[in-house]
Structure 1
Amino acid sequence: MKILRTGPPGEETAAALLPDGSAVDLTGVLDAHRPWSAADLDRAASAVRAGLPALDLTGRRVGAPLPRPGTIVCIGLNYRDHAAETGAQLPTEPVVFLKSSSTVVGPHDTLLIPRGSSKTDYEVELGVVLGARARYLESAEAALEVVAGFVVSHDVSEREFQLERGGQWDKGKSCETFNPLGPWFVTADEVADVGALGLRTWVNGELRQDGSTADLVFGVADVIRYLSWFTVLEPGDLVNTGTPAGVALGQPDPKPYLRPGDVVECEIDGLGRTRNVAAAA
């Protein structure tokens, strides 16, 4: 099942996207403003099968496809080619950092370049959405059981803030609008092989990133299991699993960091494409 949220910011309603591209209204079935559990999604799937009113999406804003996560956990240096382009050694354990949930915006919303920024960077990532509590999971199989589904996640980063201003990575990751999501959330049952998904980023029509989840250092199951031994993840939480090579940070000087007016598109096989225009904050 593909789920999206549509409407003005703060007033979104939930809808399901049908295989023919039409949509049905999930109002009264899914609360568009609180995290969804696996039981919520099962109920929505049953309602879609039973038949729901059609919803015309023409001219309607598409928002982030899930309610604001309680927690966003990110994994750094998790693609072999990305670690190589930045000159970093492959990690022996997942590199973990947090991102503010206030960064989440819709797939076509404006991407704000922070005041004082000169190194705002793009990162397409596979976002993993939790459908059940993850706590001290013992196996990869147990980890996959708590995964509700997947989403295109754009982990925007300000590299100077992240790497040159002291402290942890979080302040280079948590600026407003720094996590566009969408255009829809795809339940896990519709993704045949999460370890073989193509990921791509274009900036102003130029292909910058072209990778595959087959290049992950730590796969989805290993990441979720690992995290569950350090923190409790709840339904609706989001895990960003890392980005492939091609980011501005890894390019020769002058590095092609984002500027106002740039158009950034991020795409993952079967999960759709985001398109955000950058503007000065």
Structure 2
Amino acid sequence: MLLSVKENMNMNLQKVCDCICLPDQMKRIVLDFASSFDEKTLEPYSAALNDPSAWEEAVKQIAGGLGDDPDGSKMLTFMLLRAVETHQEYEKKGISETIFTDTMKFCSRFVEEHYKVHGTYAFTWGWWFPRQLSLREFRIGALEYEMIEKEEKKLINIHIPADADMGRESLRKSYEDARVFFAKYYPEYGQSDMVCDSWLLSPVLAKMLPESSNIIRFQKAFDSIREDVTNDSAIRWVYGRTDLPIHRLPEHTSLQKKIKTSLLEGGSIGAAYGILQEDPWKH
């Protein structure tokens, strides 16, 4: 007996949930909602997810159409159903299953992180997911690479996942594999500058960490263009949350201890924007 389109879609949705290792509890919620969800109500907004200029408004419209969604599971379901379609695009282009899986695992990572910090499963990153769904961002080895345009110039924006292996060889392989990937699948970005805007590039960290630190080695691969001393994203990424007063921030790692000390003294970490050097391995 032939499966209906919806049954077939849900079967594929389960495969996506499995391959990205979505926690069982959240997977059950996603599959249950998908079984009763009428996608046609939100079809007009799906196409907008392919247009970066429309992402923000589209996600707002989708959230409104989904209704009450305290744990973000409805948004996650809608986005993962789109990921099934994205997988078809990967297949058409011949992009590997490994890159698809590694790229889409970002949502499982944040669902698990929310549980670790708050004790409940939730997905709060629906606003970021269009990047992956529209085949603009890919995880290649340790790092994520997003194709962007600024002032009519094509750039590749580097993002650093929380679980990235920041060792020298791991980063080298990621950068080199990314160059090969874009030259093959998106040749218009084959020679684009790779840039990064992150707290990890903050020069303040160079005063806190030893030369042998992976973070410092990562920094040295970039030519710094500008700094932003007001950026406080380090708190989110180092401590996993931003809702605690400074004196209650955890001190599980040496970096957490050092940053907390700096914050208590009135300091800030900030961030910086840099361009990856042509030969980032000369150091």
TM-score interval w.r.t. the shorter chain? under 0.3
TM-score (norm 2): 0.23
Q: Specify which structure has the bigger relative contact order, considering alpha-carbon pairs within 8 angstroms and separated by 6 or more residues.
A: 1
Q: Computing the radius of gyration over CA atoms, which structure comes out larger, 1 or 2?
A: 2
Structure holding more helix per residue? 2
| Superposition TM-score, scaled by structure 1 size | 0.23
